[in-house]
């Protein structure tokens, strides 16, 4: 069986089913403790999200919120798009495999959709690029909330937003299909400076203004975010920021923080 195996379980996210379920339940207990908040979030739905990809102890709450809301639309296909942190290459690589391994069991990869977009957009398959945490950390959330959904994994390195945006646009025309854009925000600044930089990113997302991303936003997945914002403008999608925090919320170390956000498009 041609399988995309796990590469960061036990480090970026728990390696056991029990730990993963327990942590997701903990994240949801925080949401559910406030009636007004849970009522608001339970009323939301959409077919695209921005999520962070750090270790779950730092960004898991923020990512979980987006995945929980995305699941309310019950998509059957979920395309996860993230930047490469380990391998440098030109363009976009697609995981041309059959299964995606998670501690909760396997997710099916939609091979017919893989073949379709691989041919239509002349994508490559670079196996070494698909040991990437920016996409992998999303898969246990997807398996937890939408265990029967099919997934597709896209990794980009040296690429331009104009290469990704037509793919996103094409995918959003497919019924019961959702897109997940993975990014973290600023890295390793003191808290106050990080918040200033991250505010630029947050305002750009909130106002669907991709040009603002180039005015100081620092995000490792900025290419994917820019492509998503361009398509949100084209398709007149509504966008809602769901959560923002930094690693200092978990570590209590404000000297060198990483920023995280999640957002919903509908």
Write the CATH number for 234.
3.40.830.10
User: What pLDDT score was predicted for residue 1?
Assistant: 54
- Tokens representing 215? 């005015």
User: What pLDDT score was predicted for residue 27?
Assistant: 97
User: What pLDDT score was predicted for residue 83?
Assistant: 98
Residues with Cβ < 8 Å from 133, sequence gap 6 or more?
7, 8, 12, 53, 85
User: What pLDDT score was predicted for residue 86?
Assistant: 94
Separation between Cα atoms, residue 86 and residue 41, nearest integer Å? 35
Count of domains forming the chain: 1
User: What pLDDT score was predicted for residue 93?
Assistant: 98
State the residue range of the domain holding 80.
3-265
Give mean pLDDT in consecutive 10-residue pieces for the chain, a chain of 266 residues: 92 97 97 92 95 98 98 97 97 97 98 98 97 98 97 98 98 98 98 98 98 97 98 98 98 97 97
Q: Provide the whole-model pTM.
A: 0.97
User: What pLDDT score was predicted for residue 78?
Assistant: 98
User: What are 38-70's pLDDT values in tens digits?
Assistant: 999 999 999 999 999 999 999 999 999 999 999
- Tokens representing 180? 């997940």
């Amino acid at each position: 069986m041609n399988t995309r195996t796990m590469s960061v379980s036990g480090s970026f996210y728990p390696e056991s089913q029990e730990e993963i379920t327990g942590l997701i339940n903990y994240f949801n207990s925080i949401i559910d403790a406030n009636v007004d908040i849970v009522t608001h979030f339970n009323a939301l739905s959409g077919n695209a999200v921005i999520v962070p990809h750090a270790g779950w102890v730092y960004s898991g709450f923020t990512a979980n919120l987006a995945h929980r809301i995305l699941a309310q639309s019950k998509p059957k296909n979920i395309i996860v798009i993230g930047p490469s942190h380990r391998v440098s290459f030109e363009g976009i690589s697609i995981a041309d495999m059959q299964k995606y391994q998670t501690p909760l069991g396997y997710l099916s990869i939609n091979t017919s959709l893989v073949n379709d977009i691989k041919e239509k957009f002349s994508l490559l398959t670079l196996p070494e690029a698909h040991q990437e945490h920016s996409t992998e950390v999303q898969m246990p959330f997807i398996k937890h909330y939408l265990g029967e959904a099919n997934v597709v994994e896209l990794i980009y390195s040296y690429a331009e937003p104009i290469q990704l945006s037509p793919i996103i646009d094409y995918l959003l025309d497919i019924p019961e299909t959702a897109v997940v854009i993975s990014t973290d925000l600023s890295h390793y600044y003191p808290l106050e400076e990080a918040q200033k930089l991250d505010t630029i990113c947050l305002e750009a997302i909130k106002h669907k203004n991709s040009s603002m991303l180039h005015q100081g936003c620092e995000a490792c997945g900025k290419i994917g975010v820019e492509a998503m914002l361009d398509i949100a403008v084209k398709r007149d999608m509504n966008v809602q920021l769901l959560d923002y925090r930094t690693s200092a919320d978990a570590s209590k170390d404000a000297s060198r923080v990483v920023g995280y956000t999640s957002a919903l498009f509908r």
